[in-house]
Amino acid sequence: MRKRSDPGKRLWSGTLLGAVNGLFGGGGGMVAVPLLERSLPVREAHATAIAAVLPATLLSGAVYAFTGRVPLAVLLPAAIGVTAGGYLGAKLLPLLPVRVADLLFGLLMLAAGLGMIL
């Protein structure tokens, strides 16, 4: 059974997620999944996080692009890779056991944190 959170809490969580995503890029998903897992099953939390981060990513990306902070030589190949990886990940998520998806996500967060510290 799903836990329900009130709309005000979801609005503030979304605002926090958007701010984190704008500051740190797609890493906002690392904030979104734990927030969403409070009211959604694991697979739905991961899928909803990706869908929720998309508008914030597009908007913050546009702001950075229009202010000249995006080198196109880096953006284009990265965009192709991210698009392919996003498609593959979306196809793979329903096939993974929930425990494996959680473990992989936790390991990714751990690796990202260690990479930032070191």
Structure confidence by residue, pLDDT tens digits, 37-89 = 888 888 888 888 888 878 877 888 888 889 999 888 888 898 899 889 989 98
Range of the structural domain that residue 38 is part of: 7-117
Please state the domain count of the chain: 1
In the block, residue with structure tokens 């926090």: 16
Query: Phi, psi at residue 89, to the nearest 5°?
Result: -65, -40
Q: Quick check: is 1 in a domain? A: no
Dist. CA 84–CA 109, nearest whole Å: 21
Would you say residue 92 lies in a domain? yes
* pLDDT exceeds 90 at position 35: no
The reply to whether 81 falls in a domain is: yes
Specify the pTM.
Answer: 0.69
Better-predicted residue by pLDDT, 26 or 111: 111
